[in-house]
Amino acid sequence: MIPLSALLIRDVRLALRVGGGALMGVLFFMTVVAIVPFAVGPDLALLHRIGPAILWVGALLASLLTLDRLFAADHEDGSLDLLLMARTPLELAIVVKALAHWLTTALPLVGAVPVLALFLDLESRAAAAVALTLLVGTPALTCIGLIGSALAVALHRGGLLLPVLVLPLTVPVLIFGVSASNAAIGGPVPFGAPFTILIALSLASLVIGPFAAAAALRHGAE
């Protein structure tokens, strides 16, 4: 357990220090959500209706932005070689890195939702629904992103590869996240069905993501 907690502390520290990803994700999220009302125009009814969708799209793009560096930074400075040679299984190390990433970049997004809901004329019930669906849906985004991030390192291609690979895979999460939020606000479908599917997506990607990412990284080292 000591090696894993040391890795968690290191990654959290790196994200919170100058140049880390924690602030970048939440600032990007705020920027995206804040400019939408300007583009849509002063139609409160429309904003009210598409508010949860805008928050979800903003959160999705913000988590993609920071996932890019998850393994690339360790690959560039040689840390990844040493992680591969350690006695701690790579899969566990990846789970811990994902946890650190989620704590420092996804959790602030959930925290920012109540503030940003004001921009979109969402009442407190709707804001709470979006915050709750993001809380259970963002682990899926992080774990799916792990695969893309590891493949980008393995194939020596950064930048554009990650969104192209990852975005299609995150579409189900987006669909059920937004429909669960809308259901909670008073949509036609009951809240339980899309919400449990969202939880299932998170749990499934939590299992698949680390193994797929570890396989990609091991292959990439060769």
Partner 1 sequence: MRLSAFEIGCVRGNRYIFQKLSFAVGAGQCLLVHGPNGAGKSTLLRVIAGLLPISSGRLNLEGGDTDQTLGEQAHYFGHQDALKSSLSVRENLSFWALYFGGVAEAVEKALESVGLAPLSNLPAAHLSAGQRRRLSLARLLVSERPIWLLDEPTAALDTAAQDRLTELMRAHLGRGGIIVAATHGPIGLSDAQAIRLGAR
Residue 215 engages partner 1 in binding (rule: CB under 8 A)? no
| Nearer CB in complex with partner 1: 82/200 | 82
Q: Are the beta carbons of 199 and 140 closer than 8 angstroms?
A: no
CB of 13 to partner 1, least distance (A): 6
| Nearer CB in complex with partner 1: 9/46 | 9
Give residues 56-95 in contact with partner 1 (rule: CB under 8 A).
76-79, 81-88
Residue 3 engages partner 1 in binding (rule: CB under 8 A)? yes
| Nearer CB in complex with partner 1: 189/221 | 221
| Nearer CB in complex with partner 1: 17/188 | 17
Residue 156 engages partner 1 in binding (rule: CB under 8 A)? no
Give how far Cα 29 sits from Cα of 25, 65, 105, 163, Å: 6, 10, 10, 16
Give residues 171-210 in contact with partner 1 (rule: CB under 8 A).
none
Nearest-angstrom CA–CA distance, 193 and 179: 10
Q: Are the beta carbons of 74 and 83 closer than 8 angstroms?
A: yes
Among 18, 39, 45, 160, binds partner 1 (CB under 8 A): 18
Among 19, 159, 168, 192, binds partner 1 (CB under 8 A): 19
CB of 26 to partner 1, least distance (A): 19
Closest by CA to 6, choosing from 124, 78, 105, 97, is 97
Footprint of partner 1 (CB under 8 A): 2-3, 5-7, 9-10, 13-14, 17-20, 76-79, 81-88, 221-222
